Amino acid sequence: MAPTTREASKKEKAPDAAPPASEAEPGSKHKVDPDSEGASESPKAKRNKTEIADGPSTKEETEETKCQGEEKDDQDKKSAVEPHGRDAPEAVPSSILEKGIIYFFFRGRVGIDEPSAVNEIARSYLILRPIERDAKLGSGPIGDAGNSRLCAIPKKVLPQSGKDRWIAFVEKTSASFQQLKDEFLASNDYETRTAGTRHSPAATPVAEGVYAITSTGSASHLAYILTVPEELGEVQKELGLKQKGSFIISTRNPQYPAPANARLPKGPEYPEEVLKEFRSLRWMPTQPKHLDFVNTQFLLIGESSGVEKALKPQKADERGNKEQPAEELEKLEEEDLQRLKGLSDDDSGRVFADLEVNADDYPKLQTTF
């Protein structure tokens, strides 16, 4: 695997974060003064007077202001993703089924805003924000494509070896950042009959990085490289995160009963063509399209070897002189490191700037209990 410039990147001083762009001021609308208009004037007469008051120059200024506002909005919403940005898109290895940005969060147990140990965590989460397979990353926030997935890990920690096999599930698909803000990131107070008001704390960020879902023929893998934080802390290690890590990932066939301890009220609503692909298998290698259905259940199996197996080049790609999967993921890592420097001076600010929310409104990225 080619070495990265992570160490060199750490030594570079992050530039000051750009101030948030403000909303464009809308153009002024000219209103007819009711005191100057006769009460008996016809609608046509009033309309004519209004048109005279809104002279051509005023209309042009209003339209110009509107266009400037729209242009500014487009700039504010600019995404760092550059579709088809690779110099040789055809060289992207076919074993990479999907790539993108991954975020790791946890939520404390009811009433515990700042967990002091893993057993005070209610659940861990992954947010997957896919990008095009041949895309590269430029500067700025990742941008909201409305295609994010929220996945829940009831076991709280990530599997470390082949002995660790956790079932996770897709909680939200095609989610916008606003939806994630309203329905996932925010805290929530609710009433119960027996305990009165209960408090569910806000989600706490743990890490951000780049990921790839890969196929090695008989299995699929979810591989990642972290870009935030630069060094793993106590929390990251306790949750099972590594600087570079991967899992074997398999999708459960909903036509068979789920294990007793992992049943959901409702299964995924796969179309017939997806169900046929399972044949008689209870599990099959995960394909990205499986994760586009709410309540998809998938098995994560730890890989103690890191990303080596997940990013192993396939013979067909080698014969076609395509890049190695590791090279592509490391390119994405370097691009992500550079882009994140311009978002904020601290890790929490970088994560939340990507998700288009104010970092001051949420818990800071936690590295120690």
**Nearest in space to 235 (alpha carbons), one of 365, 128, 361, 355:** 365
Reported residue count of the chain is 369
Say what the pLDDT of residue 91 is.
86
DSSP character for 266? S
Q: Two tokens at 289?
A: 């399209």
* Strand-strand pairing, 96-108 and 165-175: unpaired
SS3 61: helix
Contact 288, 273 (CB under 8 A): no
Give, for 290, the enclosing helix (H) or strand (E): none
Say what the pLDDT of residue 245 is.
97
Give the amino acid at 48: N
Say what the pLDDT of residue 83 is.
94
d(CA 297, CA 295): 6
d(CA 287, CA 249): 9
Report DSSP letters for 262-273, one per residue: G--SS-----HH
d(CA 271, CA 2): 41
Contact 145, 78 (CB under 8 A): no
pLDDT tens digit string along 181-214? 999 999 999 898 888 899 999 999 999 999 999 9
> How far is the CA of 319 from the CAs of 91, 93, 310, 312, 325, in angstroms?
11, 11, 19, 14, 14
d(CA 21, CA 75): 9
Give the residues of the chain that fall short of pLDDT 50. Answer: 2, 8-56, 58-59, 67, 69-76
Phi, then psi, of 172 in degrees rounded to 5:
-140, 145
Say what the pLDDT of residue 77 is.
59
Q: What is the chain's percent helix, strand, coil content, to nearest 5? A: 30, 25, 45
Say what the pLDDT of residue 318 is.
83
Q: Which segments within the chain are labelled E, that is strand?
A: 81-82, 96-108, 121-131, 136-137, 148-153, 165-175, 188-192, 196-200, 203-215, 220-228, 244-252, 283-285, 297-302
Q: Two tokens at 167?
A: 């079932």
d(CA 131, CA 98): 8
**Nearest in space to 248 (alpha carbons), one of 280, 291, 211, 285:** 285
DSSP character for 182? I
Phi, then psi, of 345 in degrees rounded to 5:
-90, -10
Say what the pLDDT of residue 53 is.
42
Question: What is the torsion angle, in degrees rounded to the nearest 10, for the CA atoms of residue 348, residue 355, residue 99 and residue 79?
Answer: -120
Say what the pLDDT of residue 73 is.
46
Say what the pLDDT of residue 15 is.
45
pLDDT tens digit string along 203-247? 999 999 999 999 998 999 999 999 999 999 999 999 999 999 999
- To the question of pTM greater than 0.75 for the whole model, the response is yes
Report DSSP letters for 114-151, one per residue: S-SSGGGEEEEEEEEEEE-TT-EE-SS-----S-EEEE
- The Cβ of residue 27 has, within 10 Å, a number of other Cβ atoms equal to 17
Report DSSP letters for 294-346, one per residue: TT-EEEEEE-TTTTTTTTPPPHHHHHTTPPPHHHHHHHHHHHHHHHHHTT-SS
Say what the pLDDT of residue 29 is.
40
Say what the pLDDT of residue 33 is.
44
Phi, then psi, of 196 in degrees rounded to 5:
75, -140
